[in-house]
Amino acid sequence: MPKKKEQGNHLAIEGEFTIYTVGELKEQILGALLANDEFEMDLSAVEEFDAAGLQLLIMTKKGASALNRKFRLTGCSAAVLSLLDLSGLASFFGDSLTYAKSKEAIA
């Protein structure tokens, strides 16, 4: 089971973000998306990331725009970035990523 710290609208996923954990994570993400106007995920401690994880991340991004929520990624580990790169989807998440960066810069 993945370890995670949950703080209302902030979800940090650690360890595995794969087919073994997406079932549980989906419920949490969906819950958080419905409950908050803004939602952020921290993937900087994700060690394993597969297509199922990627797919869930896409769903989150799509769901957020469908529900008119602000969504951002506050950090991505190398595993996440490499798959984003391979899939050619880095630009799809591009705005969430840059937003995360500029936010950091202000803080």
Site residues, another protein (CB under 8 A): 19, 22-23, 25-26, 29-30, 33, 50-52, 54-56, 58-60, 62-63, 66-67, 83, 86-89, 92
Which residues, including other chains, have CB under 8 Å from residue 97's CB and lie 6 or more apart? 72, 73, 76, 90
Whether 11 and 28 have beta carbons less than 8 Å apart is answered as yes
Shortest separation between residue 21's beta carbon and another protein, angstroms: 9
Shortest separation between residue 31's beta carbon and another protein, angstroms: 11
DSSP-derived secondary structure letter, 96? H
Question: Which one, 47 or 50, has the nearer CB to another protein?
Answer: 50
Shortest separation between residue 85's beta carbon and another protein, angstroms: 10
Which residues, including other chains, have CB under 8 Å from residue 74's CB and lie 6 or more apart? 10, 40, 41, 42, 44, 100, 103, 104
Question: Which one, 66 or 104, has the nearer CB to another protein?
Answer: 66
